[in-house]
Chains A and B, each alone.
Chain A
Amino acid sequence: MAFITANWNPLGEAFYRKSELYEMCWNLRDGLRDCLVSAAPYGGPIALLREPHKRSPSSRPQLEIYSASGVGIASFPWKSGPVVHLGWTVSDELLCIQEDGSVLIYDLFGSFKRHFSMGQEVVQSQVLEAKVFHSPYGTGVAIVTGSSRFTLATNIDDLKLRRLPEVPGLQGKPSCWVVLNQERQTKVLLSNGPEIYILDSTSCTAVCPPGLGPQAGSIVHMSVSFRYKYLALFTDSGHLWTGPSHLQDKMSEVDTKKSTPPKQMVWCRRPKSQQPSVVLMWDRLLMVAGVCNDTIQFPTEDQCVLVGELDGVRIISSANQELLQEVPLVCQDIFKIASMAPGALLLEAHREYEKSSQKADEYLREIKEQSMLGEAVRQCVEAAGHEYNTDTQKSLMRAASFGKCFLTDFSPDLFVSTCRELRVLNAVRESSVGLPLTHTQFKQMTLQVLIDRLVYRQFYPLAIEICRYLKIPDYQGVSRVLKHWASCKVQQKDLSDEAIARTVCLKVGDSPGVSYSHIAAKAYECGRTELAIKLLDFEARSGEQVPLLLKMKRSQLALSKAVESGDTDLVYTVVTYLKNEMNRGDFFMTLRNQPVALSLYRQFCKLQEQETLKDLYNQDDDHQELGNYYVTASYREKRLENRLSLLQSAVDEYNKAKNEFSAKATEEEMRLLRFQRKLDDEKGAGLLELSLQATMEALLALGLHKQAEQLYRDFRVPDKRYWWLKLKSLAEKEEWEELEKFSKSKKSPIGYLAFVDVCMKSNNTYEAKKYVSKVTPEQRVKAHLAISDLEGAADAATERRNESEMAAVLSRCSTSDRLLIDRLNRARACAVKK
């Protein structure tokens, strides 16, 4: 027990402990001397620029990027201009702010991503100092120029430069300054000699920290806490003033008895703690100064860098890395010597239990008597979360588990989730991964972001393991990792397209939420078109493939994929694109290979561009359709000449299509039209547009028998048709004599039953009878029935010995026809016998 509190140092009511995180893996020859160093919070990476002021082209400064544990990630000579400041963005990108005001952005692996400038005027005046800061809006950059002006960019991903007002009396750079984030506004707090100003976008206001008398001297160093809540000011008289950052209040003033300003000054507090303190660093000395006017002093041997964290300060030296933090209250309760907190008792009980001592029962009884067992378990679990040492974690968790056995209605959720989270944290704290996150930081950062960070660092297998272990839904977990992995994989220049495509497909498979088109787009961005196409093949939704294919100018493929998707709007989009992109011939050729797109385009042309339709058919040598096209067009024509010429074109096309039938039919139509026009002109018959049949009918109705006859001959109208026509026409006009004459003109091709029928239609039984005898034997019964001559019908049926005909006659007989019925029945019986 005692060893846990060995590195605890009391400060006021709190304790501070400094524990080692890593022995650094790096091997720095000259330590951290003469380096520009920047380490990102939340266990982020470390960037080092050696000898930033070296400017000779022969030996350029070296930029190195390490993980928090000192594992080298990238290293390259700095070829660009002199760097003033290094900083990290929230998404692990390195910002290098140059003297000329341009900011270069590199990713974690040292590859250049983009750059932006802090303004034109900076090129002249030069950047004197720069700071990178984080706010809810993202990562920001602030600079002060040689002309003593401040410029701010609140979010580098949505760059808006703000030049702050002039500071009265400021020459060169201020003695010290910080960026504040208050009330959703970004401000600069600066000191120039004894004066302090707050600079916001519109004004520069002089302020005076309460309780800081003029005797304190001018401010030479200042620091703001992680969340911009507290401010620390260091005066040239060695006084440290602390207070809330709105400067309305004072918390403490400590005399450090140091005359030199500290090299670095960082706030060290944990959320909810009432004991904020400041860590100050001089050469060979580290001092923790709290509100209680007390200090802790640590001697240091090496040059160090302080990194402010949410709940502590990381101290990086060339040899190792330590975490300095206030001991969490729950840990104090448990581990403080002679603590009687329930958690402490439970831990003790468990320890006795392991030793098989009955004292375990005593301790347990004591906790239970105060009915604090639940609280005890909770304390142990919580403390385990805060401990860095895995053995301590284990003993605490075991104690918690032991205590839990005696509780009936204790929810296991907290225990289980802490177990899981600790496993994850221990895994990422491994030196090879190098993310020294505390539990508090992890909770603040969220798991999603942790996975993202692992992915940025290309720890794909670990990320996937974590996702699976924590059972994150695929869509947010494994799939997201795979997506990043694949996007990274396609950039590997040393692998063949084939190999990459195969590996990607193998790994990604059909994980939900991973879009192959997205991966392919990445490949295309890296100039690997062939690979992009191969990857697109795996995309199940053809629609997704289309936009990229178009971008890659694979329009043919885009078209076929669009067709495959079944989304006609997409097809149409591609068609429109192609229409503008290609010459007409190629465009048509492309369409020709895609019937679906072609019909779609045709539909459109039918309504919008008739001429194009013709061209389309022409291109295909589709003479049949061209013929149809001309015929359709002819019906839209009002003038006969135009119509005839269109029809002539149709005839030509039909001939080319070897469709003799249609050609002939169209020719006949032309002849008919001419004939109709002639008659219309001569007699005003109003025949135009009638069919042949209708024309003949009209002619007969008008009594133009000769002309009808002429049509009959000219158009080789079948006899049957002509006979029907004439028959109908004569009967309608009741020209019975003519009809009889006509019936005798030659043998009727339609038989004579028709004659009987037309007469009966006009209810002329007299005329009808004339034809009954001429009717063929098969139809004679029908004929007799038509004129209601039952006797005759019966005779005919009997003669033919046809049973069904007899039945037909019978069905027409009424009861009054007794005799006839008998006769028929007899004949029927007779016929059946035979």
Chain B
Amino acid sequence: MAHSARRDCPELPDFSLLKRLARDRLIYLLEQLPGKKDLFIEADLMSSLDRIANVSTLKQHEVDKLYKVEYRPVVSTSDQLCFLIRPRIQTVKWICDVANADKAVGRLRKYHIIFTPQKFFACEAVLEEQGIFGDVTTDEWSFYLLPLDDDVISLELPEFFRDNFLAGDQRWVRTAGSALHLLHTLYGPFSKVYGIGRFSKMAYESWREQVEEGEQRARQAEIGTVFLIDRDVDYVTPLCSQVVYEGLVDDIFRIKCGCVEFGTEVTSDKSLKVMLNSQDKVFNEIRNEHFSNVFGLLSQKARNLQTAYDKRRGMDIKQMKTFVSDELKGLKQEHRLLSLHISASESIMKKKTQQDFQELLKTEHSLLEGFEIRESICFLEEHIIRQVNMMESLRLLCLLSITENGLLPKDYRSLKAHFLQSYGAEHLLTFSNLRQLGLLVEQPAGETLTVMESRVGKLVNDKTAGKLTGAFSSLAKKSNFRALSRKLNLVPKSDEEYDLRVPRDMAYIFSGAYVPLSCKLVEQVLERDGWTGLEEVTKLLNGQEFAVTGSIGADSSTKSDAQRIVIVVFLGGCTFSEISALRFLGREKGYKFIVVTTAITNSSRLIESLLGNIA
């Protein structure tokens, strides 16, 4: 992509401060427990912890052995056990078992639980119920934010999505509020806050409360604007197949905490863990590119590299010496990365150019456009029957339901029956979950009019259809995707050529087929400085939008650079494609976006978290 970034793009604040704070706090907590101790770490905290403090740091503070929490009896011989865990009942129960087992054999130990990012009453209630409340000491490691990259910060709370949106358990909302408060104290004061969605509003309110309680210092704002968005405002975007490089790598190899493990199909000898961030020069250039461009860029890069190597020809000894000492190492490094990404691309190529994938994409695009629905349903049916891929099937089912405002009862039942026959009856629960979230629903029998409407809508002009949709929007949990797509022009006209090399809008991240709704909302709100003019859109999104200017102890006249640094907070996760789209938007409009998310997600993670058989 031509990196024609606007010159006036502001500089990003330095987020490594967050890591330092977290590390210092952890060290402080460890020092509260003097003497040798064994540290048990919750499995999904391992990677995050690795970014904050490595093993030698922990050892320096008298951590003897490190264990992963595995819900098994412990074999440690230490007299002090320290547990670093998420506030989950299951884990606390396990610790109770450990303590009670020790009690049974008359063994005396110290137990110390460090909850991160905070402790919950329910956890303490469990300790009390199991009768070991007096035997353990607890602490909180208020480690809310892990910077994954220069412009991506994650709360690393994947359960946020299921807990909040499915189970209606809102305990993490305050955590999000506290995270926001931390950013506000370090990089604020924020002068403009926009948001949409119930939890965004709650998180905002929780944060505001904390601001009011705490003392306020006047300081120069580094970040001026915040945009909060709930994941359920836009389910379509995370359900689409990702086709920008970083997204693809995540879909195929799964990026975990900013780090990916390439298997033998990429590295040829043994699997290799690679950090993926802006430090990786090669990756940094291709991460946001549509996949069809990646090879071109990589070969360009290879040629450049060759030229750089070639420079040494015709050098005298002195030049050679400086070349070796200054450049060669960098070139070698680049070389290594280049070959790695080329083989990764090849591996992706192999998977993604198959017939099946092409057809999948085609179906996806027709769903987004709202054409050839019947054919798509047939494709889906065959997809399920042939058991091509369960997750893909579910993903397409959801996409179909959202874009069409629910499935016809006939289709819904037959597809569901097919699915159960293919993958087992336990998925009754999965369907129940998906229905609860409104991801996969049946159009109520009485609502045949909507079907009519959706058909009529295609024939009659947009206006009448809009009115009709308006009439039905009172019914709960409707995605209204079609109407939204028209209002915001999310689906560019398909007959126009779209040059993916020179993208003209954010749709490039989906091969020009669809502009992500979430990012479009960000763009529109920033452009309009609020929600005015978007009333119809917010109505279709069930309202819950808000805009606050200059209330958080800051005047909005702070230097304009800070105003153009925008934090976008995704409550419930965001995808790499969305991050790419926002980076593109920032370059186009002269903003710098910082993405703060509860976790990085993609279609499979989203759907996996909703599978029925995980209790």
- Interface, chain A (partner B; CB < 8 A): 541, 566-569, 572-573, 576, 595-596, 598-600, 602-604, 606-608, 624, 628, 631-632, 635, 661-662, 665-666, 668-669, 672, 689-694, 715, 717-718, 720-721, 724, 750
- Are A665 and B167 closer than 8 Å at their CB atoms? no
- Are B429 and A632 closer than 8 Å at their CB atoms? yes
Given contacts A566-B170, A720-B385, A721-B418, contact A607 B90 (CB under 8 A): yes
Q: List 14 A-B contacts (CB under 8 A).
A: A568-B121, A568-B174, A569-B121, A604-B122, A607-B93, A628-B429, A635-B426, A661-B416, A666-B428, A691-B421, A718-B418, A720-B382, A724-B385, A724-B386
Given A567-B206, A720-B381, A721-B422, list of 18 further CB < 8 A pairs?
Answer: A572-B121, A576-B125, A596-B168, A596-B170, A602-B167, A603-B163, A604-B89, A607-B89, A631-B429, A632-B429, A661-B417, A672-B425, A691-B420, A691-B421, A692-B421, A715-B421, A721-B418, A750-B382
In the assembled complex, B126 has its CB within 8 A of some CB on chain A = yes
User: Which chain A positions have C-beta within 8 A of B29?
Assistant: none
User: Which chain B positions have C-beta within 8 A of A694?
Assistant: 424
For B75-91 the 0/1 string (1 means CB < 8 A from A) is: 00000000000000110
Cα A567 to Cα B209 with chains together (Å): 11
B387-424 at interface with A (beta carbon < 8 Å)? 387, 413, 416-418, 420-424
- Are A599 and B429 closer than 8 Å at their CB atoms? no
- Are B170 and A666 closer than 8 Å at their CB atoms? no
Given contacts A568-B174, A600-B169, A603-B163, contact A691 B422 (CB under 8 A): yes
Given contacts A607-B89, A665-B417, contact A569 B385 (CB under 8 A): no
Given contacts A567-B174, A568-B170, A718-B385, contact A669 B121 (CB under 8 A): no
CB distance from B547 to the nearest CB of A (A): 20
- Are A665 and B206 closer than 8 Å at their CB atoms? no
- Are A669 and B385 closer than 8 Å at their CB atoms? no
Given contacts A599-B167, A607-B89, A693-B387, contact A569 B420 (CB under 8 A): no
User: Which chain B positions have C-beta within 8 A of A631?
Assistant: 425-426, 428-429
- Are A668 and B432 closer than 8 Å at their CB atoms? no
Given contacts A691-B424, A721-B418, contact A608 B126 (CB under 8 A): yes
CB distance from B88 to the nearest CB of A (A): 8
Cα A724 to Cα B385 with chains together (Å): 8
User: Which chain B positions have C-beta within 8 A of A692?
Assistant: 420-422, 424
Cα A720 to Cα B384 with chains together (Å): 11
Listed from nearest, the 4 A-B pairs whose CB atoms lie closest are A599-B168, A669-B425, A691-B424, A568-B171
User: Which chain A positions have C-beta within 8 A of B129?
Assistant: 608
User: Which chain B positions have C-beta within 8 A of A567?
Assistant: 174, 206
- Are A566 and B173 closer than 8 Å at their CB atoms? yes
Cα A665 to Cα B415 with chains together (Å): 13
Cα A606 to Cα B162 with chains together (Å): 14
CB contacts between A and B, total, < 8 Å: 110
User: Which chain A positions have C-beta within 8 A of B167?
Assistant: 599, 602-603
Cα A606 to Cα B615 with chains together (Å): 8
CB distance from A309 to the nearest CB of B (A): 39
In the assembled complex, B120 has its CB within 8 A of some CB on chain A = yes
Cα A721 to Cα B126 with chains together (Å): 49
In the assembled complex, B24 has its CB within 8 A of some CB on chain A = no
User: Which chain A positions have C-beta within 8 A of B615?
Assistant: 606, 632
User: Which chain B positions have C-beta within 8 A of A600?
Assistant: 168-171
Which of A595, A599, A628, A717 is within 8 Å of B421, CB to CB?
A717
Interface residues in B, total, Cβ within 8 A: 44
CB distance from A689 to the nearest CB of B (A): 8
Residue of A nearest to B205 (CB): A566
Residue of A nearest to B423 (CB): A691
**Most A CB atoms within 10 A — which of B129, B206, B413, B429?**
B429
CB distance from B552 to the nearest CB of A (A): 15
CB distance from A623 to the nearest CB of B (A): 12
Which of A568, A632, A665, A717 is within 8 Å of B425, CB to CB?
A665
B418-455 at interface with A (beta carbon < 8 Å)? 418, 420-426, 428-429, 432
User: Which chain B positions have C-beta within 8 A of A662?
Assistant: 428
- Are A572 and B422 closer than 8 Å at their CB atoms? no
Which of B171, B202, B420, B612 is within 8 Å of A665, CB to CB?
B420
User: Which chain A positions have C-beta within 8 A of B90?
Assistant: 607
Residue of A nearest to B201 (CB): A566
CB distance from B269 to the nearest CB of A (A): 30
- Are B168 and A628 closer than 8 Å at their CB atoms? no
B115-155 at interface with A (beta carbon < 8 Å)? 120-122, 125-126, 129
Cα A518 to Cα B561 with chains together (Å): 44
Given contacts A604-B89, A720-B382, A721-B385, contact A572 B125 (CB under 8 A): yes
In the assembled complex, B613 has its CB within 8 A of some CB on chain A = yes
CB distance from B432 to the nearest CB of A (A): 5
- Are A566 and B432 closer than 8 Å at their CB atoms? no
- Are A665 and B121 closer than 8 Å at their CB atoms? no
Cα A717 to Cα B414 with chains together (Å): 11
User: Which chain A positions have C-beta within 8 A of B422?
Assistant: 691-693, 721
- Are B89 and A573 closer than 8 Å at their CB atoms? no
CB distance from A767 to the nearest CB of B (A): 20
- Are A566 and B202 closer than 8 Å at their CB atoms? yes
CB distance from A29 to the nearest CB of B (A): 57
CB distance from A655 to the nearest CB of B (A): 14
User: Which chain B positions have C-beta within 8 A of A608?
Assistant: 89, 126, 129
Cα A733 to Cα B359 with chains together (Å): 28
User: Which chain B positions have C-beta within 8 A of A672?
Assistant: 425
Cα A628 to Cα B418 with chains together (Å): 20
- Are B385 and A603 closer than 8 Å at their CB atoms? no
CB distance from A345 to the nearest CB of B (A): 47
User: Which chain A positions have C-beta within 8 A of B126?
Assistant: 608
User: Which chain B positions have C-beta within 8 A of A689?
Assistant: 424
- Are A569 and B171 closer than 8 Å at their CB atoms? yes
User: Which chain A positions have C-beta within 8 A of B413?
Assistant: 661
User: Which chain B positions have C-beta within 8 A of A661?
Assistant: 413, 416-417
Which of B125, B385, B432 is within 8 Å of A624, CB to CB?
B432
User: Which chain A positions have C-beta within 8 A of B163?
Assistant: 603
Cα A170 to Cα B422 with chains together (Å): 104
Residue of B nearest to A572 (CB): B121
CB distance from A622 to the nearest CB of B (A): 12
User: Which chain B positions have C-beta within 8 A of A598?
Assistant: 168
- Are A569 and B120 closer than 8 Å at their CB atoms? yes
